[in-house]
Structure 1
Amino acid sequence: MGEIWIPEATRLGDGNIAGSGSMDTPGNPPRAVWHTTEGSSGSEAAFQGTADYLMANNYEPHILYDPRTDRLGQFGPLNKSAKALVNAGSTRTNRTGLVCIQIEVMAKAGTAFTGCWKPGKNFAALLRAIRSWGIPDEWPAGRLAQSYSDDSPRPLSVWLNRGGHYGHSNVPGNDHWDPGAIDRVALLAAGAAPTQPPKPTPPTPVPAPRYRRPRAYRAIGL
């Protein structure tokens, strides 16, 4: 089992997503879905306001991330369902797979956030948690939508049977085109473990000078 709560993330709400529950097909591969909020970002007010809006409208994903500040928040446990997708007929897309981790990035689909973001330790923590569930660094449905009118692939058979990363535009039954034309390679590379600087070589210890007893002196009479 992977990470359920990301230690680096701020808890949003009471830790429970209304209507969330167990996954329908836990024997199917795990996946992550990327969304964009289509609103402002870069401030505490924007972050909290977006979180409040999602909770008030019962649209909560698992994760809210601000690419300009590296702020990370979590609404509910990663091993339960979120509420950011529309069903595909009888397929409950929010409950497909071992996990279906959904991330709302505070950005607009029309301006790829990978072109101006500042990923840091919190984004690395997010990808660490995603990978802890065995979600591969792959995009099974292929390309993401490049514009509002672009009809990106949404194959149901791929969604049900392939683990990896999906854009909202790749999920069957949904009609949104977010997260837009993000750089998928850069997205996954930003979560790589940072290279550790080499440890300095400790200096070779210099042996202490050998102790020698002082010579005995005869008392000199006065």
Structure 2
Amino acid sequence: MTQSGPQRYPGASTAYWYGSKYPGSAMEVNVLCWHSTEGTSLPSYDGGSMAPNLTAKPDFAAKRLVWYQHFDVDVSSRALRNLAGGVETNTLNTCQVEIVGTCDPATHTKWAQAGIQHLYMPELPDWAIRDLATFAKWANEQHRVPLSSGLTFKPYPSSYGANGVRMTGSQWTNFNGHCGHQHVPENDHGDPGAFPMAAILAAAKNGTTQEDDVALTDADKKWIADTVKAQSFAGVWKTDGIGAPVDAVDAKTNPTWQAQSMLRDIQARVRANTAAEAAQTAAIAKLAQLIGSDVDTAQVVAAVQKAIADAVVKVSVDVNGPAAT
């Protein structure tokens, strides 16, 4: 089967790559199956024999998910039970993602009382939903996995075993979109419990995801410059009086905030370079005046140093206000 689209999720580490040890079967992914690891660290997955395609591990200090990829996206992984004589599970066009954390309220309570930081699936923080939505959006754009589910994610432990939401063989064969381990036939696991699937898909559809940094082309730079000029004079952006963006009414919702911040930094650097050039020019001019004069070396040095000090403009940038000269 032909594998189309990029096979590695941008930014994911391949430090725990099992594709060489377990080659798997080629697929064309149309399903994302979500799991929770029920632990607080990256699992060993029994040396890869039970590994998913990717694992998302929380970085609480940075408020982001760190991704590890174990198999190509369009290659079967090994986190589902697949009974002989039944339907295919791991190999049926399914990309599997494990999230380091728990869906079990009893485990959540125990860890919380012990002061152990962890992700609890029913109460994922906004940044975790954001990063999961970013992956869902990427899978939709690059592999056409629908941003839909239509399934109920039951809370654990009622999601375990014969839970009333587990698909039949024919339902599974015809399913496209997002599901959990609790929905897969031939399996009895109940993870990821009361998973916020609707919120993740809504964020993916509405674009409230985290984009990868990209290099700006010359056309991009020109567009930004033209936009800054037009918007500054239109009074849409606050400026420091010379067109440099200073602030946004709401930095969280203004889509141009990142560009504005970048441009402010560029403006500050240009001013600093201009000041340095002015200092050098003044010093050279002063030195030229003194050449041939009846002055000693100490006087020349002192005069040049004073010229530099007089010409240098100290620029400080405050991200919450205008650059001060």
Deviation at 1:14, TM superposition (A): 3.7
Give distance in 2, aligned partners of 1:119 and 1:77: 23
Q: 1:156 to 1:12 in 2, by over 3 A?
A: farther
- 1:3 maps to what in 2? 6
Give distance in 1, aligned partners of 2:196 and 2:129: 17
Q: 1:120 to 1:137 in 2, by over 3 A?
A: closer
Match of residue 102, structure 2, among 85, 105, 108: 108
2:89 equivalent to 1:93: yes
Match of residue 156, structure 2, among 147, 158, 161: 147
Q: Give yes or no for contact 1:82–1:94 (8 Å, CA) kept in 2.
A: yes
Deviation at 1:57, TM superposition (A): 5.4
Q: 1:121 to 1:178 in 2, by over 3 A?
A: closer
Rg (Cα) greater in structure: 2
Give distance in 2, aligned partners of 1:33 and 1:106: 14
Correspondences of 1:132-171 after superposition (within 5 Å): 132-140=142-150, 142-150=151-159, 151=163, 152-171=165-184
2:51 equivalent to 1:19: no
Which deviates more, 88-97 or 174-183?
Answer: 88-97
- 1:200 maps to what in 2? 228
Deviation at 1:201, TM superposition (A): 4.2
- 1:54 maps to what in 2? 45
Task: Look up the equivalent residue of 1:119 and give its one-letter code.
Answer: A
- 1:77 maps to what in 2? 72
Deviation at 1:22, TM superposition (A): 2.1
- 1:127 maps to what in 2? 136
Give distance in 1, aligned partners of 2:54 and 2:170: 26
1:41-91 CA distances to partner (integer Å, 9 max, x unpaired)? xxxxx34xx2xx115251110110024441111111111100000114432
Deviation at 1:30, TM superposition (A): 1.1
Secondary structure at the aligned position of 1:119 is classed as helix
Give distance in 1, aligned partners of 2:73 and 2:9: 9
- 2:290 maps to what in 1? none
Please give the root-mean-square deviation of Cα atoms over the aligned residues, in Å. 2.8
2:182 equivalent to 1:186: no
Q: Under a length normalisation based on structure 1, what TM-score does the superposition of the two structures give?
A: 0.73
Q: 1:124 to 1:87 in 2, by over 3 A?
A: same
- 2:37 maps to what in 1? 37
Which deviates more, 113-122 or 144-153?
Answer: 113-122
Give distance in 1, aligned partners of 2:134 and 2:20: 21
Secondary structure at the aligned position of 1:3 is classed as coil
Deviation at 1:133, TM superposition (A): 1.2
Q: Give yes or no for contact 1:65–1:103 (8 Å, CA) kept in 2.
A: yes
Q: Give yes or no for contact 2:16–2:68 (8 Å, CA) kept in 1.
A: no
Deviation at 1:17, TM superposition (A): 5.7
User: Which has the larger helix fraction?
Assistant: 2
Of structures 1 and 2, the one scoring higher in RCO (CA 8 A, sep 6+) is 1
